[in-house]
Amino acid sequence: MNEHTLYQIMRFIFVLVMIAVSITFLYFLAKAAYPFFIAFGIAFLINPIVRFLEKTIKLPRLLAVLTSLLLLIGVFIGLMTLLIVEIVAGANYLANVVPEHVATLVHSLETIVAEKVIPLYNRLIGLISRLESGQQDAILKQIQLAGEALSASIGNFVQHFLLKLPSIVSWIPNTATVLLFSLIATFLISKDWDDLTRKMSQFIPETIKHRWIALSGIVRQALFGYLFAQLTFMSITFLLVISGLLFLKVHYALTIALVCAFVDLLPYVGTGIIFIPWIMYAMATGDESLVVGLIVLYLIIVVQRQLTEPKILSSSIGLNPLATLIALFIGFQYFGFIGFILGPVLLVFLTALYKANVFRDIWSYIKGKTY
């Protein structure tokens, strides 16, 4: 092994150690100060709007930041208010019609039990009675064990849920506190954005500064593209669902369409989490026209998603659909449902690093070359 190769190995080890130290430091820093990371991210995203208000409408920086934040909060509160009003109205409607549907469903289940389950049970009892006593005891013991296992599983689930209930309830004030700190920090960071970036740039070498400018532009474009793509998917789903439900004369089509638009963000399941149980219920109650209508509507939603998703993702953020699917799966494996958001965001960031030639610069540093 010559001296140059040893030098490259040492540089490679140094890069790995610095990456590991940086990730560890950011991880523990984010756990302690994540509201301020959220604030920095929001300030980073709304900065183009603030600059537009500054340069086009000639608003002072302070007023532009305040207007942008109020606009963001207003849109969020408006959407939540609309959703809550529709959910309350839908809940009142369901409170009136659910008893009738439950009675219909119970009657359908009684018919199934009387016509299918009881005859099958009698045949099984007849078959068991013909077996020897040892075989009967073994079968009864297995049935007893299965019942005990089912009871234990239900008990464990209820116990686990009750134990988690205090932490779920305590999550509400904690979330409110995080949102409050994030909004205040966003206002302060965005107000002094130019001064902060100017002071930070004094301590950053020119090469890294140029890479950061390119990287921040790519990340902003990709994140806005990702948000635009998700809003596009939600809008298409909302329009399809509300059109189909109005055609089928379903009550509270707006509420159902809004819920379907939000759950469509969940990969793999999407609107199926709403439509599949609904179709099964309509089958159980014998509403054949509704069953056919819901199946057709669900198939249209699934097909359009499969046809439009690759094109919209590739045109909006330039991500390969297969790479996006892998990022979603890995994110879910490590972070749960929040990974459905973190996975693509991390993929966007890595893609931005690649496009900004950061990986090339690291490799050139390891090899001891310059471009």
Indicate whether 316 belongs to any domain: yes
% residues pLDDT > 70 (the chain): 74
* CA distances (Å), origin 165, targets 101, 127, 174, 339: 30, 47, 15, 23
- Indicate whether 99 pLDDT > 70: no
Indicate whether 11 belongs to any domain: no
In single-letter form, the type of residue at position 71 comes to L
Indicate whether 306 belongs to any domain: yes
Q: Per residue in 292-349, pLDDT tens?
A: 888 999 999 888 877 777 677 666 666 666 777 777 778 777 776 667 677 777 887 7
Q: Per residue in 174-208, pLDDT tens?
A: 777 778 888 888 888 888 888 887 777 777 666 66
Confidence of residue 165 (pLDDT cuts 50, 70, 90): low
In single-letter form, the type of residue at position 217 comes to G
Alpha helices (H) along 58-132:
61-112, 118-129
Q: Is the pTM of this model over 0.95?
A: no
The parent domain of residue 227 ranges over: 206-371
- Indicate whether 108 pLDDT > 60: yes
> Which structure tokens are listed for 119?
């005859």
Indicate whether 116 belongs to any domain: no
In single-letter form, the type of residue at position 13 comes to I
Q: Please check whether residue 211 is in contact with residue 357, taking contact to mean a CB–CB distance below 8 angstroms.
A: yes
Name the burial class of residue 344, with classes exposed (0-12), middle (13-18) and buried (19+) by CB atoms within 10 angstroms of its CB. buried
Indicate whether 109 belongs to any domain: no
> To the nearest 10°, the Cα dihedral for 46, 51, 53, 56?
-150
State how many domains the chain has.
1
Element (H, E) at 283: helix 272-285
- Residues 294 and 311: their CA atoms lie apart, in Å, by 26
Indicate whether 247 belongs to any domain: yes
> Which structure tokens are listed for 201?
């740039």
Q: How many residues does the chain have?
A: 371
The pair phi, psi for residue 271, each rounded to 5°, is -70, -10
User: Whole-number mean pLDDT of the chain?
Assistant: 77
Q: Can you give the pLDDT at residue 318?
A: 64
Query: Which residues contact residue 232 at a Cβ distance below 8 angstroms, ignoring those fewer than 6 apart?
Result: 312, 316
How many contiguous H segments (helices) and E segments (strands) does the chain have?
12, 0
Indicate whether 360 belongs to any domain: yes
Name the burial class of residue 331, with classes exposed (0-12), middle (13-18) and buried (19+) by CB atoms within 10 angstroms of its CB. buried
For CA atoms 184, 186, 192, 195, the dihedral sign is: positive
- Residues 236 and 305: their CA atoms lie apart, in Å, by 9
Indicate whether 13 belongs to any domain: no
